Structure 1
Amino acid sequence: MSVLPLIFTSGWASGINAYAVVLLLGLFGATGVSDDVPEALQRPDVLIVAGALFLVEAVADKIPYVDSFWDALHTVVRPVAGGVVAALLAGEDGSLSQLAAGAVGGTTALISHLVKAGTRMAVNTSPEPASNIVVSLLEDLTVAGVVTFAIFHPVAASIVAAVLLLIGVLITFFLVRRIRAFLRRRREKRLAKRQGLAGPPAG
């Protein structure tokens, strides 16, 4: 069976939480649940690092504004992780198909990451922190559920991932105004703070 559906799903999930994807796939492979997981993801050191970073992200991702800062740091990390995982799933022979798989995984992860980051910026316009926690928990549960589903039903899971990605893109599109207003207020606050530090003009 082609691993393309699993590659697409892992790319989508990596754009939301790359560490969870590496950890879940590694555990599924190490425990013998799936034979499609490459040995590189099953290594104990990879699982330990992925688990530690997953815990850090689980906290940072639920704190207002910290989550957006964390997303900014991972603008490169998540797409690269999606591409690497995809290439490993496709095989380790350096073939054209492996490069194509890496491109699919990386591109999907980038789009998914941009959707996540844009949605979080909109959520941060709300003054209360509960929405950040709820959204983060939903993301974690969705990633875990879809990746697990992909191990047993890769084609169906890839369809679910594609639908969720499309919905996310549409939601982000409609939230553009709110995101722009949020960025404008941040710029105005920074400007006001700099003017306040400069003090009143000399008379």
Structure 2
Amino acid sequence: MNELPVLLDRVQPLLDWRDLPVDMASLAALAAGLGWASGLRLYALVFVLGVVGRFGGVQLPGELDMLTHPLVLGLAGLMLLAEFFADKLPWLDSVWDAVHTFIRIPAGAALAAAVMGDQSGNAQILAALLGGSLAAGTHFAKAGARAAINTSPEPVSNVVTSLGEDALFVGGVWTLFNHPVLFLVALGVFMALALWLVVSLWRFVRRRLRPRQHEVAA
């Protein structure tokens, strides 16, 4: 019985804002980070959060503790492995991204809202909008870039890009947990680049389709 207080003392918050007194800012940063990561590597994110909450001595905020359930951990781990290999095959990667347009975005909104599970309903709605928007931006930038890369007949560029996304996810989540202010700055830069990439890809597609439309009209 005497060991229980000692164990409780070892439980640390998921984010450490040092001397910053605003707890809501910490939760908002986490919600933003989970939204971003959901658009990039959803199953890896769920698995990491579940492992950290179940075995890492970390108290997950809000309703995120549901991710520590063994069934959730098992399914997330299985899907993580499936996505890891699917992401390396050009023909399967594009199909996987297309299907996950309807999974990553609502999941990012749900995870962000779960962060605010102990807060007001308004805070949960705002977090869901933030998380869903960031998940959408990240997903469309990733899917658009990978669709262009997948047109290359050689598999090396696809594998290298996929491994780069894995590294980006690991580095981003680590930064979120350890240096949230730095993560927010990097997130702003990332989303600006993602927006530029999506717009550029859309303009490229429109230019490619325009001659065909003229041919049909003629």
Q: TM-score, normalised by structure 1?
A: 0.82
Deviations 1:96-118 (A, max 9, x none): 21121111111110111111110
Give the match for residue 61 of structure 1.
Answer: 87
Structure 2 contact 137–194 (Cα < 8 Å) conserved: no
Give the match for residue 52 of structure 2.
Answer: 28
Q: State the superposition RMSD in angstroms.
A: 2.3
Structure 1 contact 122–179 (Cα < 8 Å) conserved: no
Letter in 1 for 2:162: S
| Residue identity (%) | 40
| Unpaired runs of at least 5, structure 1 | 188-203
Q: TM-score, normalised by structure 2?
A: 0.77
Q: Which has the higher contact order (CA 8 A, sep 6+)?
A: 1
Partners of 1:176 and 1:84 lie apart in 2 by 28
Are positions 1:138 and 2:133 aligned together? no
Letter in 1 for 2:60: D
Partners of 2:185 and 2:58 lie apart in 1 by 20
Structure 1 contact 123–131 (Cα < 8 Å) conserved: yes
Deviations 1:115-157 (A, max 9, x none): 1110011101222111111111111111122112211222221
Q: Where in structure 2 are the equivalents of 1:1-203 lying within 5 Å?
A: 1-2=23-24, 3-37=27-61, 38-91=64-117, 95-176=121-202
Q: CA deviation at 1:174?
A: 3.0
- Report how many aligned residue pairs link the two structures: 185
Partners of 1:183 and 1:94 lie apart in 2 by 47
| Unpaired runs of at least 5, structure 2 | 1-22, 213-218
Partners of 1:182 and 1:74 lie apart in 2 by 26
Deviations 1:42-73 (A, max 9, x none): 11111111110010000111101211100000
